[in-house]
Structure 1
Amino acid sequence: MAARCIPGLLAILVVLVSGVTACSFQAGPGPFERPFAASSPWRQEIPPDAEVDPDSAAMIAAVQQKPALNGNLVEYGIPIYRADDDTPTYTVPCTRQDYGICPFAGWPVPIPDGAQPNTGSDGVLVSVAESDGTVFEFWRAAREGDTWTTGFAAVNSLNGSGWGGAATGSGASRLAGVIRVAEIADGEIPHALALQSNNACPAFRPPALKSDGASTRADCIPEGARLQLDPQLDLESLGLSPGELAVGRAMQRYGGYLMDVANTPMSVSFERDRDAGPGELGPTYSDAGFRWDYDAMENIPWDRLRVLK
């Protein structure tokens, strides 16, 4: 929270009337913009003495034969909606009953008018009830008339760890680690990133709760593993676009957690820009130098990634 002092006569009046210091306070980003508790793994910086996994070189070589971190900007971009007390609510059943009890059972699920899941095969949608900090996460959401269904779901808290439920393969919240439109506009991403890979192991490590990985290769990467871009790289010298620079800095400072399976060797989740037209990136991403969906950000030497122990 940043303080801003009030000068002159107004300051004297503030002190006389309220008995408090003559400073007003301007709040920083709220939980919707920066979700999860300060203690969440997603919000922790990587310490300078972080140990590298002994198998790191092999794991990175396997997913970086052609250095790239593909940005899921459009088809698999994450649509994130803010719900308030006036947002309509729905009873939303899960169509995959073999997965267990539907996490939405018993919940009035708020879904803003006009909300749409992403167009990728996972049909993701996230709706955040800001009044009580509840995060409703859809996998394969669908609407027919006035009825919503979801393949499966998760319910998490904005004040929680960012891990819980079955909306992703590792048990990470579908909101966790997503690069937000406003973060790209600001040029700063203050959290670890949500990564996916086609070389994810069936095994997992904390903070992951499970894994949907199927790779049996010796160089597969466990879900829950934390990856970091070499912090010794001088990103400023590489002629990066503003978007690439923001992503690269975040991967040096916070890293990213492998939290789901993808069809690409390595990808990262972005919020879907709701100001974008069909199939378009949207003005914020375009202005930051992103060129198309799945932009590889290849000006960053992603072969300098490392898997932390």
Structure 2
Amino acid sequence: MLVLSSALAAVVGCPKSVDTPESVVNRDPRVGGRLFAATSPFNQVIPTNPQLDPRSADYVKLMNRSKKEKGFVLSVKEWTVPAYFAKPATMRHDVLILGQPPGAHYDRAFVHDVVRIMRGVPIPDNAQPDPMDDAHLTVIDPANGCEYDLYGAKRTAKGWTALWANATSTPESGIYPYGLSSRATGFSPLAGVIWPAELRNGRIDHALVFAYPYTRSGGPVYPATASDGKTNLAAALPQGARVQLDPTLDLDTLRLSPYERTIAETLQRYGMYLGDTGGALALYAVNPQSFKLNPYAGTLPDDPLVFLDRIPVERFRVLRTGSQTAQTPLAVVPSPCAQIEVLG
């Protein structure tokens, strides 16, 4: 499975934002902005009366079963993505990309089988990967608009290594055009994650991303560019599918907590894209370890996984997915952010 800076002290307790979606594009997400281009699929509001997938009811029935099995959760301190921010003086590192871990066997051979190196990655001294097996780590360099994504990241005595690494530009779509993100679907690991400032402000101006156990085999659907789906159930959801909480649902009737209310409003307005295979139906928040102080204090329970029990999964609906891409043409796309070289 490819699942996924210092806190600004003055931000904690900041007043509720009154920004419009247009004014938050490409601003610092630590203070209420959002990443990626205004044209990114993640930054598009769902139109009124969108086309629903003919299989929506069956998809949602299986999603609700998943909730009953393992819950609907928000990953906060584990199985998510820490996001660090580089400064001009941040030391740059060459990250050794090791490919498949010992004993691992991917469905087919591709670039993960080749040892590579990603040159010149600015990694702050305090950076640490997510503590779980996927060991995600992402660094944003605001000076050049670059995002550096590591999966299976590890700091060794000889330097940084990763099972996979790639780079993209934050003014672009947040989607790697030929897969090979550190997330299974080609989505940037920061696309669709929830930032602390968004929960404090009570507003999220982008679609969310979620993981799910029952991801369909056979390739992704737009806007995903890759897939690790392996389930053959008829109601398994293809990766890249967009799910919306019924916009006619009166949230006032649900007795939601403030963070659940913010998330539910976002699911009605922007929805969520299926971005990865996971052990439970789960959304992602930026791992608080990448901040000096707990940025979720007063907004979220202090738990690794926060349950979203009051959001009714049975009121989800799946927008028309389109056809699956049968074969994903995985390829490393040259980026001005970093050079990736084959070793040997």
TM bracket, shorter-chain basis: 0.7 to 0.9
Q: Which has the larger radius of gyration?
A: 1
Segments ≥4 residues shifted beyond 6 Å = 101-104
Q: Is the 8 A contact 2:99 2:115 kept in 1?
A: no
Query: How far apart in 1 are the matches of 2:190 and 2:116?
Result: 16
In structure 1, the residue matched to 2:36 is 36
In structure 2, the residue matched to 1:230 is 246
In structure 1, the residue matched to 2:151 is 139
What are structure 1's unaligned runs of at least 5 residues? Answer: 1-26
* Residue 146 of structure 1: how far off its partner (Å): 5.2
Aligned length: 278
In structure 1, the residue matched to 2:50 is 50
TM-score, reference length from structure 2 = 0.76
Higher relative contact order (CA 8 A, sep 6+): 2
Amino acid at match of 1:288: T
Counterpart mapping for 1:67-106 below 5 A: 68-96=71-99, 99-100=110-111, 105=117
Counterpart mapping for 1:1-309 below 5 A: 30-33=26-29, 34-65=34-65, 66=67, 68-96=71-99, 99-100=110-111, 105=117, 107-145=119-157, 147-164=159-176, 165-202=180-217, 203-264=219-280, 266-274=281-289, 283-290=294-301, 292-309=303-320
Distance change in 2, residues 1:251/1:298 (3 Å): same
Query: How far apart in 1 are the matches of 2:313 and 2:115?
Result: 37
Distance change in 2, residues 1:89/1:249 (3 Å): same
Query: How far apart in 1 are the matches of 2:309 and 2:175?
Result: 30
* Residue 296 of structure 1: how far off its partner (Å): 2.2
Percent identical across equivalent pairs? 32
Query: How far apart in 2 are the matches of 1:244 and 1:103?
Result: 43
For the residue of structure 2 that corresponds to 1:93, the secondary structure is strand
For the residue of structure 1 that corresponds to 2:152, the secondary structure is strand
Query: How far apart in 2 are the matches of 1:103 and 1:247?
Result: 40
- 1:100-136 CA deviation, whole Å, 9 max, x = no partner? 2779745300000110010111100000111111100
Q: Is the 8 A contact 1:275 1:283 kept in 2?
A: no
TM-score, reference length from structure 1 = 0.84
For the residue of structure 2 that corresponds to 1:227, the secondary structure is strand
